[in-house]
Amino acid sequence: MRMHSQRGFTLVELMIVVIVIGILAAVAIPMYQVVPERSRGTEATSALGLIREAMRAYYAEHGTYENAAFVDGASVTVGGILSVADDDLLGRYFSTECYTFDGAPDANTYTIHCDGSNSTASHADDAEGIVRTINQDGDLGPE
């Protein structure tokens, strides 16, 4: 008598594979949903670095971060005091209106705030809710 070996997968084996793939997808998809927001935030982070360099140059020239124009909520391009122009800050997601002083700088400290909700850039809707800050030490927040 000759035995026939069966080839293929059983229903149980196929169900186990489907369950494993479902678990992997349930874990991976939420992790990748934050990637687009983080990538949009890099535009703001780059512009904040440019502003920080301009603030460092201002400090080197004046010995302080204080200035009558640098008030809470003021645009960083106000009065052309810093060497940062509106065109330097206009990007795909963020515009000049996003970058403001967070509080008034004192002699040795400042914080610059970027709020995507204020953007008038071409893809401003995608920047809604993205907020970044930078201080005199280059510390970035929140990500």
Residue type (1 letter), 141: G
Q: How many other CB atoms are found less than 10 A from the CB of residue 73?
A: 10
Residue ranges in the chain whose pLDDT is less than 70: 1-5, 143
The DSSP string of the chain is: -PPPPP-S--HHHHHHHHHHHHHHHHHHHHHHHTHHHHHHHHHHHHHHHHHHHHHHHHHHHHSSS--TT--TT-BTTGGG-SS--HHHH--SS--GGGEEESS---SS--EEEEEGGG--STTGGGGTT-EEEEETT--EE--
pLDDT given for residue 79 in this prediction: 87
Q: Which of 103, 110, 99, 106 is nearest to 137 (CA)?
A: 110
pLDDT given for residue 20 in this prediction: 97
